[in-house]
Homo-oligomer: A and B are copies of this chain.
Amino acid sequence: MSDTPDTDNAVRAFVDGHGPAFLDDLSEWLRIPSVSADPAHADDVRRSAQWLVAHLTATGFPVAEIWETPGAPAVFAQWPSGDPDAPTVLVYGHHDVQPAARADGWRTDPFDPVIADGRLHARGAADDKGQVLFHTLGVRAHLAATDRGAPAVNLKLLIEGEEESGSPHFPELIQDRADRLACDTVIVSDTGMWSEDTPTVCTGMRGLTDCQIDLHGPDQDIHSGSFGGAVPNPATEAARLAAALHDADRRVAIPGFYDGVVELTDRERELFAELPFDEAAWLRTAHSHGALGEAGYSTLERIWARPTAEVNGIAGGYQGPGGKTIVPSTAQLKLSFRLVAGQDGEKVQAAVRDWVAARLPAGIRHEITFWGATRPCLTPLDHPALQSVVRAMGRAFGQKVRFTREGGSGPAADLQDVLRAPVLFLGISVPSDGWHAPNEKVELDLLMKGAETAAYLWGDLAENGRA
């Protein structure tokens, strides 16, 4: 049952042959403006879910259904393997899209897809309808090339309808449906790769916990001439907290913050260093004029693999024009902490609370409010399922596949935690695709390579993918 070079030729032939019809289907779906953030589009989001259910059914999924939430509906589908010992894989994506209007700077109607110069232009082309739909072409290629009636794995799909609105009901949905979502591996198809020339697999995302610290000093603003220099100033104390977040090496200075951090391996550092990273170009995407971060780590290591503390907002005292010689009554600090594998969001919150309480002088009262915590996720380079993804992608692209991580945080970690399964990322979008921006597009060539990768992946995972 192992794949062979003949399999690859058959997959490629199937994808090539069925590509035009697949693009017609994708274009039909992209015409539905499933903007979850806009209540006026609620019916469109529902139509998008219905369209997907019909398409999955037509693809051959024996189960394809709408899962209601208090907000927009998700879609669930399931295609059991014929093999009772087959592992179970859950593919995650979303069918809702960001808002888009011609007036935002689109050269074409964002909801009237246009194919030109090897690209498909439409809102949702890359984020995320294109990357959801290549799985239907992929699974059909997998069946055709390996002459099967059912996939090599038990294949499940969960396609969310509120990702662009912050996934407000997603944690509850997967908690409630954990039994039906049970799986050995999660494949998230909502990310990208390094560039057109450099196929990559993402191996992890950072977690997040953020908070607001309110500091109270004098009961009202007081005169800095009469009282300044003799009573505590909450703006000064907020600044001292924010400044004390980092030591001289820009390491986070909160005791216990790094407890449990999974350090980068030498191999990961080597692999990151091999990526064709252009710091000047990256700084332009960051709209920034200098690189600065934890001593001893490269920029990519800092944003992908190191936990950080960031001041998102600071406020206190007079902010109008000119000067006002007061000691302000209150000050406020908004901080976020990006977490990496091995860190526990609740322990970090406790460490921050202790650290703040210990640093404030008498006469300054404070409150801390944490907004929540998103857990980090990380798959080790030698994880068998990750190796399966790398091999499948390598066969599709005919190139060495490299590794990245994602500095941001997202619902992937919820899947990891609730379903207790490793989360892998299969994305073929590239930075130029323009997520959340006007003139979003997807490269047709990469879309087809995504389908190919999916076609190879299920066989490889069935054979090699168990931890």
A331 at the A/B interface (Cβ < 8 Å)?
Answer: yes
Q: Which of A207-247 contact B (CB under 8 A)?
A: 208, 210-212, 217-220, 222-233, 235-236, 238-246
Measured between alpha carbons, how far is A210 from B327 in the docked complex, in Å? 13
Segment of A10-18, A88-96, A288-296, A422-430 engaged in the interface with chain B: A288-296
* A242-B236, A244-B243, A312-B325 known; A290-B363 Cβ under 8 A: yes
Measured between alpha carbons, how far is A208 from B223 in the docked complex, in Å? 13
Q: Are A228 and B407 in contact (CB under 8 A)?
A: yes
A283-323 Cβ-contact flags toward B at 8 Å (1 or 0):
10011111111100001001100101011111111110011
Q: Are B303 and A311 in contact (CB under 8 A)?
A: no
Of the residues B222, B293, B312, B371, contact of A229 by C-beta under 8 Å? B293
Residues of B within 8 Å of A299, CB to CB, are: 230
Measured between alpha carbons, how far is A292 from B360 in the docked complex, in Å? 11
* A238-B314, A310-B224, A315-B314 known; A210-B323 Cβ under 8 A: yes
Segment of A332-340, A343-351, A448-456 engaged in the interface with chain B: A332-340
Q: Are A218 and B318 in contact (CB under 8 A)?
A: no
Residues of B within 8 Å of A238, CB to CB, are: 239, 314
Measured between alpha carbons, how far is A273 from B231 in the docked complex, in Å? 19
Q: Are A220 and B287 in contact (CB under 8 A)?
A: yes
A362 at the A/B interface (Cβ < 8 Å)?
Answer: yes
A328 at the A/B interface (Cβ < 8 Å)?
Answer: yes
A408 at the A/B interface (Cβ < 8 Å)?
Answer: yes
A364 at the A/B interface (Cβ < 8 Å)?
Answer: yes
Q: Are A230 and B302 in contact (CB under 8 A)?
A: yes
Q: Are B292 and A232 in contact (CB under 8 A)?
A: yes
Q: Are A233 and B311 in contact (CB under 8 A)?
A: yes
Q: Are A208 and B225 in contact (CB under 8 A)?
A: yes
Residues of B within 8 Å of A363, CB to CB, are: 288-292
Residues of B within 8 Å of A315, CB to CB, are: 314-316, 319
A82 at the A/B interface (Cβ < 8 Å)?
Answer: no
Task: With both chains docked as a complex, state the minimum distance between the C-beta of A105 and any C-beta of chain B, in angstroms.
Answer: 16
Measured between alpha carbons, how far is A311 from B326 in the docked complex, in Å? 8
Q: Are B314 and A361 in contact (CB under 8 A)?
A: no
Measured between alpha carbons, how far is A117 from B283 in the docked complex, in Å? 73
Q: Are B288 and A322 in contact (CB under 8 A)?
A: no
Of the residues B225, B291, B318, contact of A334 by C-beta under 8 Å? B318
Q: Are B312 and A317 in contact (CB under 8 A)?
A: yes
Q: Are A222 and B289 in contact (CB under 8 A)?
A: no
Q: Are A312 and B332 in contact (CB under 8 A)?
A: no
Of the residues B225, B240, B244, B310, contact of A338 by C-beta under 8 Å? B225
Task: With both chains docked as a complex, state the minimum distance between the C-beta of A312 and any C-beta of chain B, in angstroms.
Answer: 5
Q: Are A222 and B288 in contact (CB under 8 A)?
A: yes
Measured between alpha carbons, how far is A317 from B311 in the docked complex, in Å? 8
- In the complex, which of the residues A211, A240, A299, A371 has the most CB atoms of chain B within 10 Å of its own CB atom? A240
- In the complex, which of the residues A246, A286, A294, A331 has the most CB atoms of chain B within 10 Å of its own CB atom? A286
Measured between alpha carbons, how far is A287 from B217 in the docked complex, in Å? 8
Q: Are A324 and B303 in contact (CB under 8 A)?
A: no
A148 at the A/B interface (Cβ < 8 Å)?
Answer: no
Of the residues B313, B323, B332, contact of A324 by C-beta under 8 Å? B313
A404 at the A/B interface (Cβ < 8 Å)?
Answer: no
Q: Are A325 and B208 in contact (CB under 8 A)?
A: yes
A185 at the A/B interface (Cβ < 8 Å)?
Answer: no
Measured between alpha carbons, how far is A363 from B289 in the docked complex, in Å? 4
A365 at the A/B interface (Cβ < 8 Å)?
Answer: yes
Task: With both chains docked as a complex, state the minimum distance between the C-beta of A405 and any C-beta of chain B, in angstroms.
Answer: 11
Measured between alpha carbons, how far is A293 from B334 in the docked complex, in Å? 26
Given A230-B286, A238-B314, A312-B327, output 18 extra A-B contacts at Cβ < 8 Å: A210-B323, A222-B288, A227-B286, A228-B407, A229-B306, A229-B308, A231-B286, A233-B311, A236-B310, A242-B243, A291-B363, A292-B361, A312-B317, A312-B325, A313-B316, A314-B317, A315-B315, A322-B371
17 contacts between A and B (CB under 8 A): A217-B288, A218-B288, A222-B288, A223-B408, A224-B310, A224-B312, A226-B303, A226-B407, A227-B407, A231-B290, A231-B292, A236-B242, A239-B241, A240-B243, A312-B326, A313-B324, A323-B334
8 residue pairs, one from A and one from B, having the closest CB atoms: A290-B363, A225-B408, A229-B308, A239-B242, A243-B243, A313-B317, A313-B318, A290-B362
